[in-house]
Amino acid sequence: MTHILAIDQGTTSSRAIIFDGAMNITASAQEEFTQHYPDSGWVEHDPGDLWATTAGTCRAAIEKAGLKPEGIAAIGITNQRETVVVWDKTTGQPVYNAIVWQDRRTAAYCKTLRDEGHDKMITARTGLLADPYFSATKLKWILDNVEGARDRAMRGELLFGTVDTFLIWKLTGGVAHVTDATNAARTSLYDIHKGRWSQTICALFDIPQQMLPEVKDCAADFGVTRADLFGRPVPILGVAGDQQAATIGQACFEPGMLKSTYGTGCFALLNTGDTAVASSNRLLTTIAYQFDGKPTYALEGSIFVAGAVVQWLRDGLQTIRNASETQAMAERADPTQNVVLVPAFVGLGAPYWDAECRGAVFGLTRNSGPDEFAKAALESVGYQTRDLLDAMTADWQGSGARATLRVDGGMSASDWAMQFLSDIIDAPVDRPKVLETTALGAAWLAGQRAGLYPDQAGFAANWALEKTFEPQMNAEDRDQKYAAWKRAVDATLRF
């Protein structure tokens, strides 16, 4: 038993990655699945697709690695957070599609919560905002809108879970209904200070607590897989939401360390140690990870559209075939044009939190074309990251938010995007040798509990730098470009 299987179930695809005893990647498999958009601002997944692609990529990765069943010591899971699945505890049949974290259908209800003053209580207990982003209002919507769902839930016939919980339930053949503290902390139902589901909030949303999973540490015994899946029962020993797994994979174990992950969205997490810092700038207070029953907290800024803006260039505008084309296009773009794209396709996240605004483009000329759009798309991610870091600095002066930023995720592979990021935040950007830090974090959680990988200090010592990007833009250009971005956001919010 010399390898770890990491499951990385994301927003647009499921991946399985095999890590050897030295935490090197030996094989991987990935499969995209269909995104469903049944109405404006609505985003859904078929839970069957989540399970089928997860199981399929796991088997494919194990086969590529040439491993026998006894070669896998343990499984670590990381997942898209906040996405909601509700299923029958007997049959395993979902009662509705998974409602994805990007979904905004509960925006009106969240406004009602704010108007009635419930948002302060929610924030005080969960560290989150009354926003459609989080799981609770999505779960309430299913119970309110799927015929018979609330009655079945009250009778104890239905189970709720974020994607990790649903996958573990499927992997264990319905034996384990569990989650970890980082995923629980993203539901708006979990008191991050008391470390338990909040009865008060469950009552507010009219959610039966018997639906909710047991909450465990990030490194814990989450159950064993069905023997028929991988040739023998394999223990599941590590679970963390994708952004927390990336924080772990980046070895951000000390207060003040900061990472930003560029996937479908962008998420910056700042380790604040054993202090749950209350944000005055509409950032989130959350759990970075939890070991031995003790949570480590973080400030988080969430950007809904990062890599998704490049998907929009590919699928919506059809100006590119592959994401890698954007770098050359940005380099070719007319430097005299200042096209600004605000990619609020599903609203704006931190620090604005406006679920109703939609995307806009400013500064177009007759000569604006695909190259200028590609450049504006990449720049939008840098601008949004600066918004987050400015808010973090204001919330916690000891944040190190202008110290080195560790980056990962698909877009971090673009030298052009990372150089612009360094320029606009006026700070060094470190890209590690292993960009699959989310999967690495999940693998380390499982591997160290299985006794295969080193402890926290040993893991941090193994973190390796691939490239540092240093700021090159002069202060005047930086200030002018960022001021144009702020004007564009202001106009978008007022539209």
> Token pair 């809108």 is at which residue?
145
32 and 51 share a domain? yes
- Cα within 13 Å of Cα(119), Cβ side: 16
- Cα within 13 Å of Cα(102), Cβ side: 25
**From the DSSP assignment, how many helices (H) and strands (E) are in the chain?**
17, 22
261 and 406 share a domain? yes
Give the integer Cα–Cα distance in Å for 350 and 284.
Answer: 8
272 and 139 share a domain? no
207 and 287 share a domain? no
213 and 338 share a domain? no
**What secondary structure letter does DSSP report for 404?**
P
182 belongs to a structural domain:
yes
Question: Are 101 and 81 a contacting pair, CB within 8 Å?
Answer: yes
C-alpha to C-alpha distances, 372 to 21, 170, 319, 363, nearest whole angstrom:
45, 46, 11, 10
235 and 269 share a domain? no
C-alpha to C-alpha distances, 38 to 35, 99, 106, 143, 153, nearest whole angstrom:
10, 11, 14, 18, 25
Name beta bridge partners: 271: 298
213 belongs to a structural domain:
yes
Q: Which of 183, 209, 242 is the last residue of a domain?
A: 242
- Cα within 13 Å of Cα(446), Cβ side: 35
Which stretches of 190-283 are assigned E, i.e. beta strand? 190-191, 196-197, 214-216, 236-241, 258-262, 266-273
How many structural domains are present in the chain? 2
Name beta bridge partners: 361: 341
151 and 264 share a domain? no
**What secondary structure letter does DSSP report for 361?**
E
Mean pLDDT, 10 residues at a time, the chain of 495 residues:
93 94 94 92 94 96 90 95 96 96 91 94 94 94 96 96 97 97 97 96 96 97 94 96 94 90 87 90 92 95 85 88 88 93 88 86 93 93 92 73 80 92 94 90 96 94 93 95 96 91
447 belongs to a structural domain:
no
Q: Which of 208, 224, 242 is the last residue of a domain?
A: 242
- Whether the ω angle into residue 38 lies within 30 degrees of 0, i.e. cis, is no
105 and 37 share a domain? yes
56 and 199 share a domain? yes
Q: What integer pLDDT is reported at residue 86 of this predicted model?
A: 98
82 and 10 share a domain? yes
Give the integer Cα–Cα distance in Å for 212 and 179.
Answer: 9
199 and 265 share a domain? no
> Token pair 């090197």 is at which residue?
24
Token representation of residue 203: 């009552």
CATH for 174: 3.30.420.40
H helical segments located in 269-362: 307-311, 325-332
437 belongs to a structural domain:
no
305 belongs to a structural domain:
yes
Q: Which of 189, 216, 242 is the last residue of a domain?
A: 242
Domain extent at residue 93:
3-242
116 and 236 share a domain? yes
For the chain, how many residues are written?
495
448 belongs to a structural domain:
no
412 belongs to a structural domain:
yes
Q: What is the C-alpha radius of gyration for the chain, rounded to an integer number of angstroms?
A: 22
Output the pTM of the full model.
Answer: 0.87
Name the residue type at position 463.
W
Identify the three-state secondary structure at position 115: helix
Give the integer Cα–Cα distance in Å for 407 and 259.
Answer: 6
400 belongs to a structural domain:
yes
* Nearest CA-CA partner of 104 in 309, 361, 357: 357
Q: What integer pLDDT is reported at residue 317 of this predicted model?
A: 86
